[in-house]
């Protein structure tokens, strides 16, 4: 089974999050339910094994249709978070990345490293021109990742979504392929390996 190391020790690995991992995925969501659910509805959707299986199956179908994909991050063999191409449109040259982590895995740079792998693959492997990042305007950790990735803030949608009884603002960030390549060259980094 393939995996991409996110650190030099091989302790952190990025790999596909497939339907057969529903039980492991649900256990992960249960461990981080409150923390993860502060800004995203994934814990609300994945309440039990059947719903977790349906969620991962939906992404397997998106993968087959080339319309999205989901990946997990394992740390020392335990699923602790993940990323997804929530939207992926190769024909239009656009995609949106989303992410989440358990609190025990936060602050280690795992999301930034994993996003770098996915953006490299999207831009270089699939010809994506625009990579978007959409986050709750109060989710400072997520917005910090967008900044570390060199994304630019495109704007804010005021009270754009209703979540847990409250309307929330969301910020839209993006990076364009030429900007991504230029920033990567400035860091002296070659294109990384992608998920496929």
**Cβ-proximal residues to 115 (8 Å cutoff; 6+ apart), any chain:** 83, 97, 99, 145, 149
Predicted confidence (pLDDT) at residue 193 exceeds the cutoff of 90: no
User: Taking Cα atoms as reference points, which of 124, 37, 108, 23 lies closest to residue 73?
Assistant: 108
Q: Which residues pair with 112 in a beta bridge?
A: none
What mean pLDDT is predicted for residues 39-51? Answer: 95
Predicted confidence (pLDDT) at residue 23 exceeds the cutoff of 70: yes
What's the confidence (pLDDT) of residue 4? 87
Predicted confidence (pLDDT) at residue 177 exceeds the cutoff of 80: yes
Domains, in order of start, for the chain: 10-186 (3.40.630.30)
pLDDT in tens, 150-163: 999 999 999 998 98
User: Taking Cα atoms as reference points, which of 82, 103, 76, 107 lies closest to residue 15?
Assistant: 82
Predicted confidence (pLDDT) at residue 196 exceeds the cutoff of 50: no
User: Taking Cα atoms as reference points, which of 129, 114, 40, 121 lies closest to residue 82?
Assistant: 114
What's the confidence (pLDDT) of residue 20? 97
Token duo for residue 9: 């020790």
What's the confidence (pLDDT) of residue 172? 97
What's the confidence (pLDDT) of residue 191? 52
What mean pLDDT is predicted for residues 129-139? Answer: 96
Confidence of residue 189 (pLDDT cuts 50, 70, 90): low
């Amino acid at each position: 089974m393939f995996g991409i190391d996110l650190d030099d020790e091989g302790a952190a690995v990025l790999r596909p999050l497939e339907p057969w991992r529903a039980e492991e995925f649900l256990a992960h969501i249960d461990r981080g339910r409150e923390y993860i659910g502060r800004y995203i509805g994934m814990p609300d959707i994945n309440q039990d094994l059947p719903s977790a299986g349906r969620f991962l199956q939906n992404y397997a179908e998106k993968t087959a249709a080339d319309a999205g994909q989901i990946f997990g991050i394992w740390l020392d063999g335990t699923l602790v978070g993940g990323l997804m191409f929530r939207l992926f449109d190769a024909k239009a040259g656009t995609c949106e990345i989303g992410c989440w982590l358990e609190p025990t895995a936060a602050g280690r740079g795992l999301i930034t490293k994993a996003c770098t792998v996915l953006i490299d693959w999207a831009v270089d492997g699939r010809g994506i021109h625009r990579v978007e990042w959409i986050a709750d305007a109060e989710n400072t950790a997520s917005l910090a990742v967008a900044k570390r990735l060199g994304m630019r803030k495109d704007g804010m949608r005021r009270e754009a979504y209703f979540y847990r009884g409250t309307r929330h603002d969301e910020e839209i960030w993006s990076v364009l392929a030429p900007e991504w390549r230029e920033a990567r060259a400035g860091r002296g980094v070659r294109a990384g390996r992608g998920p496929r």
